[in-house]
Every structure is written in structure tokens, then in C-alpha cells.
Amino acid sequence: MGYAEKTPGPRSLLWVDDDLLTLSPLLWRLKDEGYEVVPVSAPAEAIQVLRERGGSFSAMVIDVAMPLSPEFQPPDALGGQRTGVALARLVRSEFPSLPLIGCTILLEPDIDEWFSRYAAGYISKFEILESPRRLLSVIDRAICSAGAGPKCFIIHGRDEKMLLELKDFLQSSLRFAEPVILRQQASLGRTIIEKFEDLAADVDIVFALLTPDDVAVGPDSSNDEKRRARQNVIFELGYFWGKFQRRRGRVILLYSGALELPSDLSGIVYVNVSDGIEKSGERIRRELVGWI
């Protein structure tokens, strides 16, 4: 087949996976949405297609675990368990501007870290088979935001000044795209939890602003007033920690003023922004290693 004869569409996708039959409903959904989809079943074939077309794809989706072939047996593929990572490294070296998306069944921290740091992220096969909308969201964002930095979500309480400072820091200082702030997004007939779940689906980094907004008093407490973050902040923080897992460094805690932190947060690294976001900027930047 002469791949080089095909003219890339406005949104063209190269998908490499050794089980294309299972993915066929998703590939047809992409075609229905206007994508040109070129499916290949082996890394060597993917490399051939890329070189013939000069890397002229909008994005590339790469299965992580694929059998090795005589033409493609890099030592870091670990006998096939990391074939997709080895392929992604090769593609990245030859076509550095091509957005790469990892596709996995069982996500492991090192795979997540590699695709989050050096590529456009990853998608779970189980998740996209259940929700094709998730697939479309991830691919569209990888194409549209290539070079625009990660997509951020801000959890916040009542401190408007701190919220605006953080938003301005992310956009003006770090040159990230406009962060997602839940209340600023259209509801479109959704309940608040449906709206939150939809907007949280394809977020890269979460900033949780813990500010002393509510009064915390226990049954045996003295009359001394204790302050804590709003309960919606704690709820959304827990949601994202469950989604990303704590050790992946994608939820960044920022706190201001004297407030009571939940005991389950003991030992977690967080950034004191009591003097303002800009003055804490260097510390925040250190937490964003791999993103800036």
C-alpha cells in the first residue's frame, strides 16, 4: 500500500496497536468525527509510515505493550512490556513536534511519568472503550494545545484575590493555557457533579488552594476559633488524589494563612503562599518539573 500517496487530512492520526480488532469501534468513531485514521499493527510499520509521510500527522497513539519484531527490538522495550515507550522515544527523536499519546491497559508509574513528561499524555484502554468521548477529548487537546503547556484545574475557596493571582501566574508567568475554574464554565444542563466530572476528565495538573474560609470546631474544643478550608475544596482534592494517585505529583497543594489541615494530609509536601503567589513562584516552579 502506498501510504505516501495519501494526503493528510486536517486532523490525521496514526494509531499503532497489535490488537486493532478490539479498537475498531473507536477507530470508526474517530473517522465519523472527521479524522483521517491510519491504523498499523507493529512498530516497524509505524516507523515506515512516519518516514514515508515525513511525520505529517496531527498526533500518534501508541500501545505500550506490543510484541517485538525482528525489525524493532530495542533493549529498553523489556521484551515487549515497554515496546510503546521505546517506539515513542524513537519517534520523538525523529519527529519532535508530533504529539504522542500512550495507550495502556495497566498503567504503571514509570509509563505515566514518561508520557506525561515527554509526550502529550496517556489514555487507558478500559476508559476509552467505556467512554469514546474521553478519547476524543484527549486527542483533540493533544492536537490543539501542542506547545501550549498542560491543562490545569484550580480548586479554590473564598479567597478571590489568591485565586486571581494564581490564574495570572499560570497564564502570564508560566505561559500555560487558561486554567479551568469550575464556576466559570457553562453548566449546559448538567448537575454540579456531572459538570465537575466532565471538566476533570482530561486535566493534567491540579492546584488546590487551601485558604482559611470556614470555622472548625470540635465537641471538645475551646472557644478559640480554628479555621479550615471549605469542604468543597477537600472533596475535590480527594477526588483528584484518587484519580491521579498521590505519588504522581499532579496535585499541588497551596495553602495560605493559619488553618487546620486534615490529619490525612500529614507529611504531604505543600507550598505556603501566604505572602502571595508571585513570591512563592520559584517553589511552585520546582513542583512543576517536567512541565516547564
- CA–CA distance, 119 with 146 (Å, rounded to integer): 10
Biggest CA pair distance of the chain: 79
**H-helix or E-strand spanning residue 103:** strand 100-104
Please indicate, yes or no, whether residues 189 and 80 belong to a single structural domain of this protein: no
Q: Domain containing 60 — which CATH number?
A: 3.40.50.2300
Average pLDDT for 227-235: 88
Residues 189 and 261 in one domain: yes
Q: For the stretch 156-194, what's the b/e string if a residue is b when 16 or more beta carbons lie within 10 angstroms of its beta carbon?
A: bbebeebbebbbebbeeebebbebbbbeeeeeeeeeeee
The whole-number pLDDT of residue 223 equals 55
Considering the chain, what percentage of its residues have pLDDT values greater than 90? 28
- Written as one letter, the residue type at 10 is P
Residues 21 and 138 in one domain: yes
pTM over 0.85: no
**Contact present, 134 and 202 (Cβ < 8 Å):** yes
Q: Give the strand pairing for 227-228 and 214-215.
A: antiparallel
Question: Is residue 292 one of the residues assigned to a domain?
Answer: no
pLDDT band at 207 (very low <50, low <70, confident <90, very high): very high
**Beta-carbon neighbour count of residue 93 at 10 Å?**
8
Gyration radius of the chain over CA positions? 22
pLDDT tens readout for residues 35-68 = 889 999 999 899 999 999 888 888 999 998 888 7
74: in domain: yes
Asked whether the predicted pLDDT for residue 9 surpasses 80, the reply is no
Question: Is 8 contained in some domain?
Answer: yes
Supply the CATH number for residue 157's domain. 3.40.50.450
**Selected residue with higher pLDDT from 206 and 73:** 206
pLDDT attached to residue 114: 82
Mean confidence (pLDDT) of the chain:
82
Q: Has residue 159 been placed in a domain?
A: yes
Same domain assignment for residues 76 and 124: yes
Report the alpha-carbon distance of residue 207 to residue 155 in Å, rounded: 6
Q: Would 60 be classed as within a structural domain?
A: yes
Structural domain of 198: 152-287
Exposed, middle or buried, 210 (CB in 10 Å: 0-12/13-18/19+)? buried
pLDDT band for position 290 (cuts 50, 70, 90)? low
State the Cα–Cα distance between residues 91 and 47, nearest whole angstrom. Answer: 8
Of 76, 109, 144, the last residue of a domain is 144
> Do 27 and 65 reside in the same domain of the chain?
yes
The whole-angstrom separation of Cα 285 and Cα 49 is 38
Tell me whether residue 107 is in a domain.
yes
The pLDDT value given to residue 38: 94
Residue that is written with C-alpha cell 529498553 in the block: 76
Residue with the three cell numbers 502570564: 172
60 and 90 in a single domain? The answer is yes
Share of the chain above pLDDT 70, in %: 82
Helix or strand (DSSP H, E) at 143: helix 132-144
Q: What is the pLDDT of residues 69-118, one digit of tens each?
A: 776 777 766 665 788 888 998 898 888 888 899 888 866 777 877 887 78
User: For residues 209 and 263, which has the higher predicted lDDT (pLDDT)?
Assistant: 209
| Of 127, 144, 161, the domain-final residue | 144
Q: Say if residue 30's pLDDT is above 80.
A: yes
Q: Could you tell me if 78 and 165 lie in one domain?
A: no
pLDDT in tens, 262-286: 766 655 668 999 999 999 999 998 8
96 in any annotated domain: yes
Q: Which of 91, 119, 144 is a domain's end point?
A: 144
| Number of domains within the chain | 2
111, 217: one domain: no
| In a shared domain, residues 91 and 116 | yes
Same domain, 20 and 101: yes
pLDDT tens sequence across 144-172: 655 556 789 999 999 999 999 999 999 88
The Cβ of residue 103 has, within 10 Å, a number of other Cβ atoms equal to 22
Determine the average pLDDT of the residues in 241-266. 76
Cell of 270: 505543600
Residues 122 and 24 in one domain: yes
Residue 35: inside a domain: yes
Q: Are residue 170 and residue 250 in the same domain, yes or no?
A: yes
